[in-house]
Amino acid sequence: MDERNTMDIRKIELDSLKVKIGKYRYALVAVFIAGSSLGLFCFWEPTQVEEYPYLDPHVTSVDDSENLIVNIQPLREELTLIDETYSDRANMSLYFEALDTGENLSINRNLRIWPVSLAKVPLAISVMKKIENSEGKLDLDDLIPIIPDDVNTRSGDLYQGLKLGDKMSIRDLIFHMLNNSDNTAYRALIRQVDQSYLRDVVDLVGVDQMFQEGGKVSSKEYSRLFRALYYSTFLNPEDSEFILKTLAKTTFSDYLSQGLPEETRFAHKWGENLGLKVYADSGIVYATGRPYMISVMIEMKSDDATQNRRNAVEMMGKISNSTYSYVSSYSNSR
C-alpha cells in the first residue's frame, strides 16, 4: 500500500476519533448544564475513570506536547544497523509507530513473510465482530463443543486436558488461542465464523494479503490490526479492550518482550514455525505516556533450527532494547 493510502487510513481513524470526542464533549456539556441547574456541582468532585486502559487515551489525557515523539531518525539508524548486522543470516521486516504522533519507520517495508500464529489475531477480531452483530444471541460465555477436527497437537497443550465432546466457552478459547497460541482453540473458534467475517477484517482493516494465495504480509501491513484495536475503529471499545487486555496476559517472555520493564504492559501476539524458519512478534508497548506499535517478522536462511531460534531471540532482544530505550528517554531537545 502506498503512502497516500496509508495517509487515507490514518485520516479515517482520526476522523473516527474526532466523532467520538465530539460525542463525549456534547454529553459532558449537557451533564454540566443539568447539574448546575440543580446545584449539584457545589459538592461534586470530578474523578477520572480509565475505563479502557488499552485503547487510545487522548480523549482524557493531559496535553504533553513537549514530550511528543517527533524525531525518530536516530532510532531508524539503530534498527537499520541491527538489520545489516544479521543480513547474512536472516531477512527481516520491521515496523515501528509512535502512537502519540504517528511518526513511523519501516525496515524492508516491501518484504512479506508468513505471519504464522500472528494470523490468530484476525480470527479473534472476527469472532468478536460476530458477537457484536448477533444482538445478544451469541456471547463470550457460550459453550463450544470440541470435535475431532479441532484437536491439534502442533501448538498449545489444550488437547491434552480435553476429551472429545467437552465444551469450552468462547472466552476461554480466545484466551488459549491468543496467549498460548493453541491450535485446538483456533480450530474450534474458526468453526464459529464464516469466511465473510474474516474477509471483512482483512479488507476493512487493510491486511487483505493475509488470507489470499501466498498468505504473506509485511510487518507494516500486519500492524494495521493493532492500530484498529487501539483506536477501536472496527470493534466496539469494550471488545477492542478485551482482545488487547487478553493479549497482554501472555507469559511468553522471549522475542520483543525482552528489554521491557516488568511493569510495562505489552499487548502482543508472537509466533514461530521452525520448519518455515519464521519467527514473529507484534503488538503495542504501553511505555509510560508514549505507547508505540512494533512488529518484527524474521525469516532465517540457515537450516539449523536451534541456531535460527537463537539468532531470532538475539535480534528481537536488540530491537526491543533499542526501541524502548529510545522511546522512554526521548526528549524534544534531541
Q: What is the mean pLDDT of residues 59-66?
A: 51
- pLDDT on residue 68: 85
List, for residues 154-196, the tens digit of each pLDDT value: 888 898 988 888 999 999 999 999 999 999 999 999 999 988 8
- pLDDT on residue 167: 95
Which residue did the predictor score with more confidence, 6 or 257?
A: 257
- pLDDT on residue 211: 66
Rounded to the nearest 10°, the torsion over CA 179, 328, 54, 2 is: -90
List, for residues 86-116, the tens digit of each pLDDT value: 999 999 999 999 998 999 999 999 999 999 9
Place 328 in a pLDDT band, splitting at 50, 70 and 90: very high
The domain locations on the chain are 4-42, 48-115+216-334, 120-200
- pLDDT on residue 213: 61
**Integer Cα distance of 10 and 4 in angstroms:** 10
**Integer Cα distance of 232 and 9 in angstroms:** 13
* Among the ranges given (133-137, 181-185, 245-249, 292-296), the one the predictor scored with the smallest mean pLDDT: 133-137
List, for residues 268-304, the tens digit of each pLDDT value: 999 999 999 999 999 999 999 899 999 999 999 999 9
Exposed/middle/buried for residue 48 (C-beta within 10 Å: 0-12, 13-18, 19+): exposed
- pLDDT on residue 280: 97
Task: Give the containing element (helix H, strand E) for 94.
Answer: strand 90-98
Q: What is the mean pLDDT of residues 109-133?
A: 95
Place 26 in a pLDDT band, splitting at 50, 70 and 90: very low
Place 50 in a pLDDT band, splitting at 50, 70 and 90: low
HSE (side-chain half, CA atoms, 13 Å) at 334? 16
pLDDT at 34 over 80: no
**3-class DSSP state for residue 187?**
helix
Percentage of residues in the chain having pLDDT higher than 70:
80
- Closest to 187 measured CA to CA, from 224, 147, 133: 147
Please provide the CATH number assigned to the domain covering 48-115+216-334: 3.40.710.10
- Residue located via cell numbers 539508524: 77
**Integer Cα distance of 207 and 122 in angstroms:** 9
- pLDDT on residue 209: 73
Q: What is the mean pLDDT of residues 233-243?
A: 96
Q: What is the mean pLDDT of residues 130-141?
A: 93
- pLDDT on residue 91: 98
Question: Model pTM?
Answer: 0.81
- Closest to 7 measured CA to CA, from 111, 108, 105, 102: 102
- pLDDT on residue 212: 67
Q: Which pairs count as long-range contacts for 134-142, CB under 8 Å and 24+ apart, including other chains?
A: 138/170, 139/170, 140/169, 140/170, 140/171, 140/174, 140/242, 141/169, 141/170, 141/171, 142/169, 142/170
Place 124 in a pLDDT band, splitting at 50, 70 and 90: very high
**Integer Cα distance of 263 and 73 in angstroms:** 27
CB environment 221-254: b (16+ within 10 A), e (fewer): bbbbbbbbbbbbbbbeeebbbbbbebbbebeeee
Place 136 in a pLDDT band, splitting at 50, 70 and 90: confident
pLDDT at 37 over 50: no
Q: What is the mean pLDDT of residues 132-136?
A: 91
- pLDDT on residue 57: 67
Exposed/middle/buried for residue 188 (C-beta within 10 Å: 0-12, 13-18, 19+): buried
- pLDDT on residue 21: 40
- pLDDT on residue 58: 56
- Cα 322 to chain centroid distance, Å, stands at 20
Residue 93, strand partner residues = 297
pLDDT at 66 over 70: no
